[in-house]
A and B are shown apart, each in its own frame.
Chain A
Amino acid sequence: MQLTSSFKLVFLKQMLRGFLLSDASSNSMSFHERKNAIKLSADAAIAFARGRTRWSQGLITNLSKNEKNKEILKSLLGREYDNLRKPCGNSLKIPRSKKILRRCLRMCSRRKKAGRAQHICKSILAKALAKKRIQVLKKLVPGGESMDGFSLLDETLDYAMSLKAQVDVMRRLLKTSKASLNIKQMKAWGQGGLDFTAGGHL
């Protein structure tokens, strides 16, 4: 389906490009900065690899709010940057006044409770619960506030799969980089103490 290897490859490639661009491998940054740079590259890469979806656009919009990241994002994403940034974002927040909503719900429930069976109240309760959770989900999914219930669920699905792919690739990258380090270590030690003292300090 979506988690094809080509998708993961595109993601990996973009992420590594991002590492280069943000100079994540240099020593000049602090640990925290480096982590942020890596995360930025990873997020931008996954959004790029996915193409134009609501959540990827929302993600890029959120990332570009930080001015520093804009440059990196621009050079990383190239042409896609404008495409991904253009629409929605949180500007399309559907304005809902809580008071009005509460009043509506109360009135509806009162009206329905007046002459109806028990199960209607339960359904209202269930709806309220679901609504709460949908709100939480909206905060989780990037760009979620401007989506309605249906598209939110779609985007969640999409987003969850992309996150899975992201985690998978990053984990593998981590594993292999650690392994390659081990190899270097072994090489260094294998070649005797000279290398070790000279430069093989790990």
Chain B
Amino acid sequence: MEPPRSSGVGIDNSGEYSPEIAETLRFEEEIQSLIHPSSFDGSAAPTGGGSFTALLGLPANQAVELLHDSGAREPLASRIRVGGHPVHRPFHLPLDCSSAFPSNATLVDRAARFSVFAAEGSPASSSGRLKAEPQDSDSPPLDPIPTGPAKRKDTGRSKCDVRLSLSFKSQAKATAKKSKNAEENTDGDKLPYVHVRARRGQATDNHSLAERARREKINVRMKLLQELVPGCSKITGTALVLDEIINHVQTLQRQVEFLSMRLAAVNPRIDFSSLDSYLSAECGPVTVRNGPGGVVVDPSLWPTDATAEATRRLLVPQFWHIDLVPPQLQPQQSLTTWERDGAAHSQLLPNPTTSLFLYDPANSGNANVPHLTAKLKTAEDRALNL
């Protein structure tokens, strides 16, 4: 085992091989996450485009190629030792006897190759989301089923090695299961290595393994889609589920059409033109609201609220404050119309109405207000005239 180890060390010494070092680092990260599974949440996973999708888009032949790499087997631990993390020692033994690892060089080479693959810019959110979903949806059924889901999860985890246990040692399976369970709550780095584990008694030739990998991938995605589409989880069979999905997507598209039609019918009555100044300010309503009155509305309220509705709800009383102090009219009017737009909840609607009416008489004594209300009235008339 000396030569592989030395090669591992050698790679660490060669500082110019950046993909190798990067891969080692990522690998360490992942190992750490294995050890501390609870501390890892889905959002913490590095993105860099090596997402779930890129991963599972790995063509079958490359997966098979990975599987069949029988270069100098090097235990995991030695590579970890390269990185100098003594904490990974506990893993040395189980992983040692469980599987075969391809050599460092070939792996790293593939990592470099696949980094191009993986860097195709899938958005972080999608990878994060997709990672979260398999975790949620897959972790319950995973435990009873020993081997297949291990592959599924492993592809999502993107380990650096391909663990192919062609020898059906029970010990290997036990350790593999252990590490799989440890990984279940983690999100590894995004290296596109496909883990395939052959079930006991099943064919282990290239073709069927690749087939199985493909099928597993498809099954994962179908499951996710089933969860999304309402009423789809009871249906079995790919074709029917696809039917439902198509139906759903078509329905949603038609709904968008219909809603845009209705908005077109309603729209001319709404004075959107004055919203421009408000909208152009990114998340800073300050520019709009700091009129001569200097009303301070907390600008952070807008983006940081839990829901859009909550935000709008909070904005309602704020706006009625502004009514009292006259900033420039345009933003003022825009805010009021905007706010009425924003009052998403029907329950809120009586409030704006009443408060509007309330303020008018209340402000009548104020010197500012007649000016204000007159302008409001003219603006409204203008809006109504449209």
Contacts and interface: CB of A to CB of B under 8 A. Distances in A.
Interface of A: 1-2, 5-6, 8-9, 12-13, 16-17, 19-20, 24-27, 31, 34-35, 37-39, 42-43, 50-53, 126, 129-130, 133-134, 136-137, 140-141, 148-151, 153-154, 156-161, 163-164, 166-167, 169-184, 186-188, 190, 195, 198-202
A184 B384 contact: yes
B300 interface: no
Give the dominant DSSP class at B's interface: helix
Given A8-B308, A133-B239, A183-B349, A177 B263 contact: yes
Given A156-B245, A202-B384, A25 B267 contact: yes
Nearest to B272: A25
Interface of B: 52-53, 56-57, 121-123, 125-126, 129-130, 132-133, 217-218, 221-222, 224-225, 228-229, 237-239, 242-243, 245-246, 248-250, 252-253, 255-257, 259-273, 275-276, 279, 302-303, 305-311, 337, 340-344, 346, 349, 352-353, 356-357, 377, 380-386
> Among A38, A42, A126, A159, which residue has the most Cβ atoms of chain B within 10 A?
A38
Contact of A35 (B260, B344, B377): B260
A98 B252 CA distance: 30
Contact of B266 (A126, A140, A174, A186): A174
> Among B262, B271, B308, B311, which residue has the most Cβ atoms of chain A within 10 A?
B308
Nearest to A129: B239
A136 B224 CA distance: 19
Contacts, number: 215
A5 B53 contact: no
A159 B380 CA distance: 39
Given A35-B263, A42-B256, A140-B250, 10 more contacts: A12-B308, A13-B279, A20-B279, A25-B271, A51-B125, A130-B242, A177-B270, A180-B337, A183-B353, A199-B381
Contacts of B253: 140, 163
Contacts of B243: 133
A140 B308 CA distance: 29
B308 A5 contact: yes
Contacts of B256: 39, 42-43, 163, 166-167, 170
B298 to A, nearest CB: 16
Given A35-B260, A52-B121, A164-B252, A154 B308 contact: no
A38 B263 contact: yes
B221 A34 contact: no
A1 B266 contact: no
Closest 4 CB pairs of A and B: A180-B340, A163-B252, A35-B264, A153-B221
